[in-house]
Structure 1
């Protein structure tokens, strides 16, 4: 058996040569694909309606149809609940992330305020000491005492620096 002998000649291939290239829009259709996730319930419903005697008679087929409808409804409700729960979880995670960022900012501000508070208390502590030293120096050299009084006043004025507010 020689396959080349049985093959048709190229002149008799059924092609006329008048074909043109088509477009992709001719292939697309508006009909939904047949496998949309409802294949199994629809198949059972069709089988029970076409031949109810295979499913325990008419009454058995009705019970099976009711069970299929009930399970399909429960499945759809479970999917909706899962979608709802996932969206709530996503929202909660976004809120948690935002709150964590706020917490870090507040901790940073608190640390900065604590350091500023230490500096202000130290300046408040040192300013009366410098005032008393300035009074002693004023007795001997008034011009040098003014410099010490100025420094003490600057140290005391650090308490007037406002702390950072909400930003």
Structure 2
């Protein structure tokens, strides 16, 4: 599994510990890479933490069964990042992308304020996210809205792409 934008490695460590799988965590910020390595090293888990960019992943094609991306894509060149995720997934692999979604129209001023607050260039609607994944070649896209205060529940068995607005 690839944990893209792994931050301090908490999710990577949790997944490796809970499911006993090999996890590769990747982050663009060297400080986060160091914190993640410090977190996982004493645990003896099958977790490798690497420094890298989601827009040019330092991995071979078709390397991962699963790519997890939590609030990462929106901070990147989105089409490039989604294409890279598609490239490193094995056939039949799954991308789980948890991203912010514009649920209702807002005034241009409010949208500008939100984008400035989060430091993003755009906020996509659910339909725009689906189109982005389709353009990257994901043939099966499943989108669900979750209240993330309570966590992800009832994840479908085998979709190729999951998106949680």
Q: Which has the higher contact order (CA 8 A, sep 6+)?
A: 2
TM range (shorter): under 0.3
Q: Under a length normalisation based on structure 1, what TM-score does the superposition of the two structures give?
A: 0.16
* Structure in which a larger fraction of residues adopt strand: 2
The structure having more radius of gyration, on CA atoms, is 1
* Structure in which a larger fraction of residues adopt helix: 1
Q: Under a length normalisation based on structure 2, what TM-score does the superposition of the two structures give?
A: 0.16
